[in-house]
Amino acid sequence: MHQPTLTHRALLLLLVAVTLAFGAILLPLHGAIFWGMVLAILFAPLHRRLLLRMRRTPNLAALLTLAICLLIVILPILAIAASMAQEAGVVYQRVRAGQINFGAYAQQIWAALPAWVLKLLESLHLGTFAELQTKLASFGAQASQFLANQAVNVGSNTLQFIVNFGVMLYLLFFLLRDGTQLGTRIRNAIPLDEEHKRELSAKFITVIRATVKGNIAVAATQGALGGLIFWALGIQGPVLWGVIMAFLSLLPAIGASLIWGPVALYFLATGATWQGVTLALYGIGVIGLVDNVLRPLLVGKDTKMPDYVVLISTLGGMALFGLTGFVIGPVIAALFIATWDLYSPPPASSGTE
Protein backbone atom coordinates (compact mmCIF):
# COMPACT_ATOMS: atom_id res chain seq x y z
CA MET A 1 0.00 0.00 0.00
CA HIS A 2 2.76 2.39 0.96
CA GLN A 3 5.31 0.96 -1.48
CA PRO A 4 4.92 3.68 -4.21
CA THR A 5 5.24 6.47 -1.63
CA LEU A 6 8.30 4.85 -0.07
CA THR A 7 9.91 4.37 -3.48
CA HIS A 8 9.21 7.98 -4.41
CA ARG A 9 10.76 9.26 -1.18
CA ALA A 10 13.82 7.04 -1.57
CA LEU A 11 14.27 8.25 -5.16
CA LEU A 12 13.91 11.87 -4.04
CA LEU A 13 16.46 11.35 -1.26
CA LEU A 14 18.87 9.73 -3.71
CA LEU A 15 18.37 12.62 -6.15
CA VAL A 16 19.17 15.22 -3.47
CA ALA A 17 22.22 13.26 -2.27
CA VAL A 18 23.82 12.79 -5.70
CA THR A 19 23.03 16.41 -6.65
CA LEU A 20 24.77 17.73 -3.53
CA ALA A 21 27.72 15.39 -4.12
CA PHE A 22 28.05 16.51 -7.74
CA GLY A 23 27.82 20.16 -6.65
CA ALA A 24 30.63 19.59 -4.15
CA ILE A 25 32.78 18.12 -6.94
CA LEU A 26 32.18 21.16 -9.16
CA LEU A 27 32.68 23.72 -6.38
CA PRO A 28 36.48 24.12 -6.82
CA LEU A 29 35.88 25.03 -10.47
CA HIS A 30 32.77 27.14 -9.95
CA GLY A 31 34.35 30.29 -11.45
CA ALA A 32 35.39 28.55 -14.67
CA ILE A 33 32.01 26.84 -14.99
CA PHE A 34 30.11 30.07 -14.34
CA TRP A 35 32.02 32.15 -16.89
CA GLY A 36 31.88 29.34 -19.44
CA MET A 37 28.10 29.35 -19.07
CA VAL A 38 27.94 33.17 -19.29
CA LEU A 39 30.06 33.29 -22.45
CA ALA A 40 27.96 30.50 -23.98
CA ILE A 41 24.79 32.55 -23.37
CA LEU A 42 26.39 35.71 -24.78
CA PHE A 43 27.69 34.03 -27.93
CA ALA A 44 24.71 31.72 -28.52
CA PRO A 45 23.11 34.07 -31.13
CA LEU A 46 26.38 34.17 -33.09
CA HIS A 47 26.67 30.39 -32.89
CA ARG A 48 23.13 29.95 -34.21
CA ARG A 49 23.92 32.14 -37.21
CA LEU A 50 27.07 30.16 -37.96
CA LEU A 51 25.18 26.89 -37.50
CA LEU A 52 22.70 27.92 -40.20
CA ARG A 53 25.63 28.02 -42.64
CA MET A 54 27.31 24.87 -41.25
CA ARG A 55 24.42 22.50 -40.57
CA ARG A 56 26.51 19.42 -41.26
CA THR A 57 29.49 20.49 -39.16
CA PRO A 58 28.27 21.54 -35.67
CA ASN A 59 31.75 20.96 -34.24
CA LEU A 60 33.25 23.44 -36.69
CA ALA A 61 30.55 26.02 -35.91
CA ALA A 62 31.21 25.72 -32.16
CA LEU A 63 34.98 25.87 -32.73
CA LEU A 64 34.68 28.98 -34.91
CA THR A 65 32.47 30.68 -32.31
CA LEU A 66 35.03 29.82 -29.64
CA ALA A 67 37.81 31.33 -31.78
CA ILE A 68 35.82 34.56 -32.26
CA CYS A 69 35.22 34.72 -28.49
CA LEU A 70 38.94 34.34 -27.90
CA LEU A 71 39.75 37.02 -30.45
CA ILE A 72 37.35 39.76 -29.37
CA VAL A 73 36.99 39.13 -25.63
CA ILE A 74 39.63 36.98 -23.97
CA LEU A 75 42.83 37.99 -25.80
CA PRO A 76 42.21 41.76 -25.37
CA ILE A 77 41.61 41.21 -21.64
CA LEU A 78 44.87 39.27 -21.36
CA ALA A 79 46.74 42.01 -23.28
CA ILE A 80 45.37 44.73 -20.99
CA ALA A 81 46.27 42.63 -17.94
CA ALA A 82 49.85 42.23 -19.21
CA SER A 83 50.16 45.98 -19.81
CA MET A 84 48.74 46.69 -16.37
CA ALA A 85 51.23 44.30 -14.75
CA GLN A 86 54.10 46.01 -16.58
CA GLU A 87 53.02 49.46 -15.40
CA ALA A 88 52.48 48.16 -11.86
CA GLY A 89 56.08 46.91 -11.89
CA VAL A 90 57.33 50.33 -13.01
CA VAL A 91 55.36 52.09 -10.26
CA TYR A 92 56.66 49.61 -7.67
CA GLN A 93 60.26 50.21 -8.74
CA ARG A 94 59.77 53.98 -8.52
CA VAL A 95 58.34 53.61 -5.01
CA ARG A 96 61.36 51.51 -3.95
CA ALA A 97 63.75 54.05 -5.48
CA GLY A 98 62.06 56.88 -3.61
CA GLN A 99 60.89 58.65 -6.74
CA ILE A 100 57.32 58.20 -5.51
CA ASN A 101 57.07 59.12 -1.82
CA PHE A 102 53.57 58.83 -0.41
CA GLY A 103 54.76 60.23 2.92
CA ALA A 104 55.90 63.43 1.22
CA TYR A 105 52.60 63.66 -0.66
CA ALA A 106 50.67 63.27 2.60
CA GLN A 107 52.80 65.96 4.25
CA GLN A 108 52.06 68.37 1.38
CA ILE A 109 48.34 67.75 1.76
CA TRP A 110 48.58 68.17 5.54
CA ALA A 111 50.30 71.53 5.20
CA ALA A 112 47.57 72.78 2.86
CA LEU A 113 44.62 71.77 5.07
CA PRO A 114 42.48 74.59 6.50
CA ALA A 115 42.20 75.13 10.25
CA TRP A 116 38.70 73.62 10.60
CA VAL A 117 39.87 70.36 9.02
CA LEU A 118 42.83 70.21 11.41
CA LYS A 119 40.44 70.65 14.37
CA LEU A 120 38.27 67.84 13.03
CA LEU A 121 41.32 65.57 12.71
CA GLU A 122 42.37 66.49 16.23
CA SER A 123 39.02 65.26 17.53
CA LEU A 124 39.83 61.96 15.80
CA HIS A 125 43.22 61.79 17.59
CA LEU A 126 45.03 62.80 14.40
CA GLY A 127 45.98 66.30 15.50
CA THR A 128 49.58 66.14 14.30
CA PHE A 129 51.21 64.85 11.16
CA ALA A 130 53.26 62.41 13.27
CA GLU A 131 50.07 60.74 14.49
CA LEU A 132 48.74 60.52 10.95
CA GLN A 133 52.09 59.14 9.79
CA THR A 134 51.90 56.45 12.46
CA LYS A 135 48.46 55.39 11.22
CA LEU A 136 49.66 55.38 7.63
CA ALA A 137 52.75 53.37 8.56
CA SER A 138 50.59 50.76 10.28
CA PHE A 139 48.34 50.56 7.24
CA GLY A 140 51.39 50.34 4.96
CA ALA A 141 52.85 47.48 7.00
CA GLN A 142 49.60 45.53 6.73
CA ALA A 143 49.39 46.22 2.99
CA SER A 144 53.00 45.14 2.51
CA GLN A 145 52.35 41.92 4.39
CA PHE A 146 49.33 41.21 2.19
CA LEU A 147 51.34 41.84 -1.00
CA ALA A 148 54.17 39.64 0.28
CA ASN A 149 51.74 36.78 0.92
CA GLN A 150 50.30 37.22 -2.57
CA ALA A 151 53.79 37.18 -4.07
CA VAL A 152 54.58 33.88 -2.30
CA ASN A 153 51.41 32.33 -3.76
CA VAL A 154 51.89 33.70 -7.27
CA GLY A 155 53.09 30.35 -8.64
CA SER A 156 50.10 28.39 -7.37
CA ASN A 157 47.73 31.18 -8.40
CA THR A 158 49.15 31.15 -11.93
CA LEU A 159 48.75 27.38 -12.18
CA GLN A 160 45.19 27.61 -10.87
CA PHE A 161 44.40 30.34 -13.40
CA ILE A 162 45.73 28.21 -16.28
CA VAL A 163 43.68 25.21 -15.17
CA ASN A 164 40.50 27.27 -14.75
CA PHE A 165 41.06 28.99 -18.08
CA GLY A 166 41.44 25.66 -19.85
CA VAL A 167 38.34 24.24 -18.18
CA MET A 168 36.34 27.33 -19.16
CA LEU A 169 37.33 27.06 -22.84
CA TYR A 170 36.71 23.30 -22.88
CA LEU A 171 33.29 23.70 -21.28
CA LEU A 172 32.44 26.67 -23.52
CA PHE A 173 32.95 24.56 -26.66
CA PHE A 174 30.51 21.86 -25.51
CA LEU A 175 27.96 24.37 -24.19
CA LEU A 176 27.96 26.05 -27.58
CA ARG A 177 27.62 22.75 -29.43
CA ASP A 178 25.17 20.98 -27.10
CA GLY A 179 23.65 23.89 -25.18
CA THR A 180 20.23 23.71 -26.83
CA GLN A 181 19.75 20.02 -26.06
CA LEU A 182 21.10 20.45 -22.53
CA GLY A 183 18.78 23.40 -21.88
CA THR A 184 15.80 21.38 -23.14
CA ARG A 185 16.62 18.47 -20.83
CA ILE A 186 16.96 20.78 -17.82
CA ARG A 187 13.66 22.51 -18.58
CA ASN A 188 11.89 19.15 -18.98
CA ALA A 189 13.20 18.02 -15.59
CA ILE A 190 11.90 21.09 -13.73
CA PRO A 191 8.43 20.37 -12.26
CA LEU A 192 6.77 23.66 -13.28
CA ASP A 193 4.21 24.70 -15.85
CA GLU A 194 5.63 25.11 -19.33
CA GLU A 195 4.66 28.78 -19.43
CA HIS A 196 6.37 29.46 -16.11
CA LYS A 197 9.52 27.69 -17.26
CA ARG A 198 9.64 29.76 -20.44
CA GLU A 199 9.23 33.02 -18.51
CA LEU A 200 11.92 32.17 -15.94
CA SER A 201 14.33 30.92 -18.62
CA ALA A 202 13.84 34.06 -20.70
CA LYS A 203 14.36 36.27 -17.64
CA PHE A 204 17.52 34.36 -16.66
CA ILE A 205 19.08 34.73 -20.13
CA THR A 206 18.01 38.37 -20.53
CA VAL A 207 19.44 39.44 -17.17
CA ILE A 208 22.77 37.69 -17.75
CA ARG A 209 23.17 39.30 -21.17
CA ALA A 210 22.13 42.73 -19.91
CA THR A 211 24.30 42.75 -16.79
CA VAL A 212 27.42 41.41 -18.49
CA LYS A 213 27.21 43.56 -21.62
CA GLY A 214 26.00 46.64 -19.73
CA ASN A 215 28.48 46.52 -16.87
CA ILE A 216 31.42 45.65 -19.12
CA ALA A 217 30.50 48.51 -21.47
CA VAL A 218 30.33 50.93 -18.53
CA ALA A 219 33.58 49.58 -17.04
CA ALA A 220 35.46 49.76 -20.34
CA THR A 221 34.20 53.29 -21.05
CA GLN A 222 34.96 54.64 -17.58
CA GLY A 223 38.36 52.94 -17.48
CA ALA A 224 39.32 54.30 -20.91
CA LEU A 225 38.15 57.83 -20.05
CA GLY A 226 39.90 57.73 -16.68
CA GLY A 227 43.16 56.45 -18.16
CA LEU A 228 42.96 59.12 -20.88
CA ILE A 229 42.65 62.03 -18.43
CA PHE A 230 45.42 60.59 -16.23
CA TRP A 231 47.68 60.38 -19.31
CA ALA A 232 46.76 63.95 -20.33
CA LEU A 233 47.61 65.25 -16.83
CA GLY A 234 50.94 63.40 -16.79
CA ILE A 235 50.06 60.98 -13.97
CA GLN A 236 52.30 57.92 -13.78
CA GLY A 237 50.74 54.61 -14.90
CA PRO A 238 47.59 55.70 -16.75
CA VAL A 239 46.85 52.17 -17.99
CA LEU A 240 47.20 50.77 -14.46
CA TRP A 241 44.85 53.37 -12.98
CA GLY A 242 42.46 53.04 -15.92
CA VAL A 243 42.14 49.29 -15.36
CA ILE A 244 41.64 49.81 -11.63
CA MET A 245 38.91 52.37 -12.35
CA ALA A 246 37.30 49.91 -14.76
CA PHE A 247 37.16 47.23 -12.06
CA LEU A 248 35.90 49.66 -9.43
CA SER A 249 33.22 50.95 -11.82
CA LEU A 250 31.45 47.62 -11.29
CA LEU A 251 30.39 49.29 -8.03
CA PRO A 252 27.58 51.57 -9.22
CA ALA A 253 27.68 55.33 -8.49
CA ILE A 254 30.94 55.47 -6.48
CA GLY A 255 33.38 53.09 -8.19
CA ALA A 256 35.71 55.14 -10.41
CA SER A 257 35.55 58.19 -8.12
CA LEU A 258 37.51 56.22 -5.50
CA ILE A 259 40.55 56.73 -7.75
CA TRP A 260 40.16 60.09 -9.49
CA GLY A 261 38.63 61.78 -6.41
CA PRO A 262 41.70 61.52 -4.11
CA VAL A 263 44.01 62.50 -7.00
CA ALA A 264 41.94 65.63 -7.66
CA LEU A 265 42.05 66.51 -3.95
CA TYR A 266 45.82 66.05 -3.94
CA PHE A 267 46.20 68.41 -6.89
CA LEU A 268 44.05 71.05 -5.19
CA ALA A 269 45.83 70.69 -1.83
CA THR A 270 49.30 71.01 -3.36
CA GLY A 271 48.57 74.10 -5.45
CA ALA A 272 48.07 72.38 -8.82
CA THR A 273 44.72 74.14 -9.12
CA TRP A 274 44.02 73.77 -12.81
CA GLN A 275 44.88 70.07 -12.80
CA GLY A 276 42.66 69.48 -9.75
CA VAL A 277 39.74 71.46 -11.15
CA THR A 278 40.10 69.83 -14.57
CA LEU A 279 40.17 66.32 -13.11
CA ALA A 280 37.23 67.02 -10.78
CA LEU A 281 35.07 68.50 -13.54
CA TYR A 282 36.04 65.72 -15.94
CA GLY A 283 35.33 63.05 -13.32
CA ILE A 284 31.90 64.45 -12.46
CA GLY A 285 30.81 65.59 -15.90
CA VAL A 286 32.29 62.88 -18.11
CA ILE A 287 33.20 59.74 -16.13
CA GLY A 288 30.23 60.12 -13.79
CA LEU A 289 27.88 60.82 -16.67
CA VAL A 290 28.74 57.45 -18.20
CA ASP A 291 27.55 55.70 -15.03
CA ASN A 292 24.40 57.79 -14.76
CA VAL A 293 23.41 57.40 -18.42
CA LEU A 294 24.75 54.11 -19.76
CA ARG A 295 24.13 51.84 -16.76
CA PRO A 296 20.36 52.50 -16.47
CA LEU A 297 20.08 52.36 -20.27
CA LEU A 298 22.00 49.11 -20.77
CA VAL A 299 21.25 47.27 -17.52
CA GLY A 300 18.07 48.62 -15.96
CA LYS A 301 16.11 48.89 -19.21
CA ASP A 302 16.71 45.29 -20.36
CA THR A 303 16.38 43.70 -16.92
CA LYS A 304 13.23 45.78 -16.21
CA MET A 305 14.37 46.27 -12.64
CA PRO A 306 14.47 49.56 -10.73
CA ASP A 307 17.88 51.22 -10.46
CA TYR A 308 17.98 50.78 -6.68
CA VAL A 309 17.39 47.02 -7.02
CA VAL A 310 20.23 46.78 -9.56
CA LEU A 311 22.51 48.76 -7.21
CA ILE A 312 21.70 46.76 -4.07
CA SER A 313 21.84 43.37 -5.79
CA THR A 314 25.16 44.23 -7.47
CA LEU A 315 26.79 45.37 -4.22
CA GLY A 316 25.39 42.42 -2.28
CA GLY A 317 26.39 39.95 -4.98
CA MET A 318 29.97 41.23 -5.11
CA ALA A 319 30.22 41.16 -1.30
CA LEU A 320 29.06 37.53 -1.24
CA PHE A 321 30.50 36.05 -4.46
CA GLY A 322 33.39 38.37 -5.35
CA LEU A 323 33.84 39.61 -8.92
CA THR A 324 31.26 37.21 -10.38
CA GLY A 325 28.69 38.74 -8.04
CA PHE A 326 28.07 41.65 -10.40
CA VAL A 327 26.26 39.09 -12.57
CA ILE A 328 24.96 36.65 -9.94
CA GLY A 329 23.44 39.38 -7.74
CA PRO A 330 21.14 40.92 -10.39
CA VAL A 331 20.26 37.47 -11.76
CA ILE A 332 19.08 36.29 -8.32
CA ALA A 333 17.17 39.54 -7.82
CA ALA A 334 15.49 39.24 -11.23
CA LEU A 335 14.53 35.61 -10.63
CA PHE A 336 13.22 36.55 -7.18
CA ILE A 337 10.95 39.22 -8.68
CA ALA A 338 9.91 37.02 -11.62
CA THR A 339 9.06 34.06 -9.37
CA TRP A 340 6.88 36.17 -7.11
CA ASP A 341 5.21 37.69 -10.18
CA LEU A 342 4.30 34.20 -11.42
CA TYR A 343 2.30 33.45 -8.28
CA SER A 344 0.92 36.91 -7.56
CA PRO A 345 -2.66 37.55 -8.71
CA PRO A 346 -2.99 39.52 -11.95
CA PRO A 347 -4.08 43.15 -11.56
CA ALA A 348 -7.80 43.72 -11.63
CA SER A 349 -9.20 45.01 -14.89
CA SER A 350 -10.21 48.66 -14.73
CA GLY A 351 -12.60 48.48 -17.68
CA THR A 352 -16.32 47.85 -17.44
CA GLU A 353 -18.08 45.08 -19.25
**300-351 pLDDT per residue, tens:** 666 677 777 877 888 888 888 877 888 888 888 888 888 887 776 655 544 4
Contact assessment for residue 223 and residue 83, using Cβ atoms and an 8 Å cutoff: no
Which band of pLDDT confidence, cut at 50, 70 and 90, is reported for residue 255? confident
- 150-to-39, 101, 147, 155, 243 alpha-carbon distances in Å: 29, 23, 5, 10, 19
Q: How confident is the model at residue 353, as a pLDDT? A: 41
pLDDT digits (tens, 9 = 90+) for 75-101: 877 777 777 666 666 666 666 666 555
| Listed range (138-152, 282-296, 334-348) with the worst mean pLDDT | 138-152
User: Rg of the Cα trace of the chain?
Assistant: 26
Q: What is the mean pLDDT of residues 270-276?
A: 80
Distance CA 31, CA 316 (A): 18
Residue 208, amino acid: I
Percent of the chain exceeding pLDDT 70 equals: 73
Contacts of 337 (CB under 8 A, 6+ apart): 305, 309
Percent of the chain exceeding pLDDT 90 equals: 3
Q: How confident is the model at residue 137, as a pLDDT? A: 54
CB atoms within 10 A of CB 40: 25
Q: How confident is the model at residue 1, as a pLDDT? A: 45
Nearest CA to 228 out of 278, 300, 289 is that of 278
Instruction: Mark out the alpha helices in the chain (DSSP H runs).
Output: 3-26, 30-53, 58-69, 75-96, 102-112, 115-123, 129-152, 154-189, 194-232, 238-248, 257-269, 273-282, 288-295, 301-303, 307-321, 325-343
Distance CA 222, CA 181 (A): 39
Contact assessment for residue 326 and residue 250, using Cβ atoms and an 8 Å cutoff: yes
Nearest CA to 265 out of 228, 225, 100, 273 is that of 273
Q: How confident is the model at residue 20, as a pLDDT? A: 92
Contact assessment for residue 310 and residue 301, using Cβ atoms and an 8 Å cutoff: no
Side-chain-facing half-sphere of 202: CA atoms under 13 Å: 9
Q: How confident is the model at residue 221, as a pLDDT? A: 86
* Cα torsion angle, 103, 109, 110, 111, sign: positive
Q: What is the mean pLDDT of residues 217-238?
A: 84
